[in-house]
Each structure stands twice: as structure tokens, then as C-alpha cells.
Structure 1
Amino acid sequence: MKSKLAASLLAIFLGDFGAHKFYLGKPGMGILYLLFFWTGIPAVIGVIEGILYLLQSEESFQEKHGRG
């Protein structure tokens, strides 16, 4: 079971490096974020994803990301 708060904080503060993607078990996306971190785009997307994770219900988050 993955923590919604942990994923959100990783996305907001380390989203430019894809830390939240690695945490959620999506290493391919994490590597993609790492390849493009220098552009700043993954940082913006990470903040948006972090906010979206926080706004999701716990059930919805676990349904999508909670496996493993």
C-alpha cells in the first residue's frame, strides 16, 4: 500500500527528478523525468501531480497506485 502523502511530497519537492514515479512503481516514467529534468518541465508537472494526488480520495489513489 503506497502512501498518498509520501507520493505527493515526493512529487512536489523532487518531482523534477521523477522520485514520485519511482516510488509509485513506474521506473520508466521516472527515467523519462530524469532525462528531461534540466528543462524544468518535469518540475512543473511534478507539482501539478502532487496537488492532484492530494486532492484524490484515498480509495481512488489506492486503486490506481496502491498495488505492491
Structure 2
Amino acid sequence: METNNNFTATDNGKTAGIISYFTIIGWLIAYFAMHKDNKTELGSYQLRQTLLFAIVSTVIGWGLGFVLGILIVSTGVGALIYIAYILQIALFIIWLIGLIGAINGEKKPMPLIGEKAQTMFPGI
């Protein structure tokens, strides 16, 4: 039985790139269901960016949560939580810039990590 993947063939990886921005589940769906058997330059570009973004944001979230938790408990200064809020807003802005690029079908690097992602994951 032959499957019809016209949605990925006609958009040159744009759909896979967009879907990869929506959680790691979205990335897995975009990679395995849309990109793996029909690789495109744009799809690869976006998948590499979103993979590194997911890794970096997870590590920052866990690390910052751990450090701020210790600082808040030891100093009693609950206002330190605002550091986490500021970082979350910054990560959201970076994510949004990448998503807008994917929606427009551009190979526009995400600030701070976009170019690095292209060299770190050449196999995607």
C-alpha cells in the first residue's frame, strides 16, 4: 500500500518546520512522520533549531529552578523568582522569532542558538 505525502512534498518542509516548534512531541511528529522519509533543506534547518532550543530551554529551566530554589530557601527572598519570569519571557521571544521564520518559510536563525544548531546536528 502506497502512502500519499503530498503535504510534505508541496511545502518543501514548511509544515514539518512549523509543527516542530510545538513541544518535543511536535518535534518527534515532524521528524518521524513528515521529515524522515522526505527530507528537505528547510525542514532540516527548522528541526535542527527546534531540537537545540528544546535542549537549551530544558537545561536552563531545570538549572535555574534548582539554583533559584536553593537561593530562595536560603535567603528567604521570594522576589528572586522574577529572574525566572524574565528568562521565560526571553525564551518565548526567541521561540516566537523562530516560529515566525518557519511560518514564512525562511531559514532565519533563532537568536543566540540558531547558527550553532546547524553545526551541532548535521545528520538531521
TM-score for both structures, normalised by structure 2: 0.28
TM-score for both structures, normalised by structure 1: 0.42
Q: Which entry has the higher C-alpha Rg, 1 or 2?
A: 2
Q: Which has the higher contact order (CA 8 A, sep 6+)?
A: 1
